[in-house]
A and B are shown apart, each in its own frame.
Chain A
């Protein structure tokens, strides 16, 4: 679960480029209050989430269990994720 720190950054993509339906692992979040807010919502670095919507323009909706979070396109560009294979972990 905590192996994300060992994964090379080059494999991560910006959340902005995620595709609807993809399973993702959060690689890095921006610092500051927004990071804390993500952690409150249960979306921390290392968590496995699903991109359930990518709206025109790049607004992203992530789902973790029952929690859904909408992320504006500019914020999505600052979040980096690893794409997982069909819901399975990469480990």
Chain B
């Protein structure tokens, strides 16, 4: 049967999946080419090659997974998240599955140095009855590693065309066009035929029939049939078939250890892995914390934003809306929706976010992150997290707002909650670290140690408490460690731009709302009432001067504002410590509060936000009562 002929829409679709299908059905007549592959096999480079400049990035409805769509001649091209198999083990897989089900042609990109792993997905796509072309990437590494691959025989075993390529050098791309036209169904495993045939009567297509047999709960529900119980048998059969094929087409005689392999091993072991981590963080700090956060941002924010953009727009608005009016305050006042928000978004956040994503893409594409996650898995286990959580936590030292978004990659809601709470409570962002470091350096060694000890204690206590109280168990670590590679710059640039664009698109609206709320609070006098309300707490419980309450309130808008406000007060070293503890434990800034509400829901977001207030003043007060 021809999968292109099947119509996948059924009346049994659950709500968000239905939205997902309609998302793909906008231009139903066009041929859909879908790129599918394991993580980090070069899909994006290929997508870029096919779709050129025009790309439509969209959130798959009901999920946080991004789907890129482009055009190739008369066809639509879709990029899918990296997956090891088609099912619904996580959000990425569910999204990829739905896009694959709609595909007319599947371009399957496989890592030639990891055939055993990658051909499992290939064989599954073939078993689904899809028209497939296999692109074998990293053929240069195959040569370097003395691996022999009999491509012709591989093509014969699979029953589909196999094209060797080197995506970073665009080698083999010239054969793509003809190959796409020759895409065909491959050799399906005979033992599946009878059960597939029976299931085909109940569901629309062979692809869906196979997924039902493999027990996919969503596809089964769509068709109103109970999920199959044969996944283990089908998977083992497929695995044996893949091993059989690999044994016949692959000769791997290389015994020499390459530097990249050794480096990969060193990155795992604490003794060598911790210095490697320290060095990686130092490089990231030089790039993000020094070059972008200081040099670039000081120009874009201070010069372009504060002295060019803001006065210009303020004059423009004031010529229409009188300066004394309430509206003028809201639009172009101290927290003006147009002035402050634009400066923050375009001149401060944009360069910062871009540099984070560039650094993240570099670590991702190099294969370092999974090794780091492995090294710290046991430690993070004490906080109810698994090793993967190291990624958002490290990013938090850069920008808590974007780090909160990356908690998406954690596998359970429980872990997302714990990681978000730790980020919001105990991780100071780069903007704040600079001010904190300057203040603490002036305060002396003992206050610095006290500050670090208190924040660490809160981090551990919070993680442990959430681990004990939240229901369920954290997912255990099971990670594929991809080969270490020097990442390609084109791919890093591409990932960075796409993610930055997406972040800005999502965060901007929330940012404006946040600024509007603070602006309203200021112009209605709520802000000063709040400041007055805090004064007794600040003077008696925290034993700080009354002006500190203003710094704290400003800290709600942006934490480095808060910390910077402390600069001009005459404080004793221990008072500095107390004030910094309070400011660090606060929720980082308006933007991160907004992003947290969006990611975790307003209820959970609000609980964490109020929690940070309580913890900040409780812990700060206890420290104050103990040392001042």
Contacts and interface: CB of A to CB of B under 8 A. Distances in A.
Interface stretch (A4-12, A60-68, A83-91): A60-68
A40 B374 contact: no
B290 interface: no
B116 A67 contact: yes
B374 A70 contact: yes
Using C-beta atoms within 8 Å of the partner chain, give the interface range for chain B: 35 or more
A59 B374 contact: yes
A36 B89 contact: yes
A66 B85 contact: no
B386 A72 contact: yes
Contact of A42 (B120, B270, B386): B120
Contacts of B113: 66
Interface stretch (B327-335, B473-481, B531-539): B473-481
Interface string B76-96: 000000001101010000000
Contact of A59 (B117, B265, B378): B378
B377 interface: yes
Interface string B453-478: 00000000000000000000000111
A91 B264 CA distance: 33
B85 A70 contact: no
Nearest to B264: A68
B172 to A, nearest CB: 22
A38 B232 CA distance: 11
Nearest to B243: A42
B478 A65 contact: no
A74 B481 CA distance: 18
A7 to B, nearest CB: 18
A72 B265 contact: no
A61 B370 CA distance: 12
B378 A70 contact: no
B231 A73 contact: no
A67 B117 contact: yes
Contacts of B148: none
Contact of A73 (B116, B378, B479): B378
Contact of B89 (A33, A66, A69, A70): A33
B239 interface: yes
Interface string B486-509: 000000000000000000000000
B209 interface: no
Contacts of B477: 59, 70-72, 75
B265 A55 contact: no
B325 to A, nearest CB: 60
A59 B377 contact: yes
Given A56-B378, A66-B113, A39 B235 contact: yes
A67 B480 CA distance: 8
A47 B243 CA distance: 11
A37 interface: yes
A19 B477 CA distance: 19
Nearest to A36: B235
Interface string A11-46: 000000000000000000000011111111110100
A72 B479 CA distance: 9
B231 A58 contact: no
Contacts of A42: 116-117, 120, 239, 242-243
A36 B478 contact: no
Interface in B251-280: 252, 264-265, 268-270
Interface in B96-120: 113-114, 116-117, 120
B387 interface: yes
Nearest to B477: A72
Contacts of B269: 53, 55
Interface string B557-592: 000000000000000000000000000000000000
Contacts of A35: 232
A17 to B, nearest CB: 16
A53 B371 CA distance: 12
A70 B265 contact: no
A60 to B, nearest CB: 9
A89 B208 CA distance: 40
B607 interface: no
Given A42-B243, A69-B478, A72-B381, A64 B387 contact: no
B370 to A, nearest CB: 7
Contacts of A64: 116
A59 B269 CA distance: 10
Contacts of B117: 40-42, 67
Q: Which of B84, B265, B476, B483 has the most CB of A within 10 A?
A: B476
A39 B243 CA distance: 11
Contacts of B378: 55-59, 72-73
Nearest to A58: B378
A68 B371 CA distance: 10
B192 to A, nearest CB: 16
B480 A41 contact: yes
B236 A39 contact: yes
Q: Which of B85, B243, B377 has the most CB of A within 10 A?
A: B377
A81 interface: no
Given A40-B121, A67-B480, 4 more contacts: A36-B89, A59-B378, A68-B264, A70-B374
Interface of A: 33-42, 44, 52-53, 55-59, 61, 64-75
Q: Which 4 A-B pairs have the closest CB atoms?
A: A57-B378, A72-B477, A75-B476, A68-B481
Interface of B: 84-85, 87, 89, 113-114, 116-117, 120-121, 231-232, 235-236, 239, 242-243, 252, 264-265, 268-270, 370-371, 373-375, 377-379, 381, 386-387, 476-481, 483
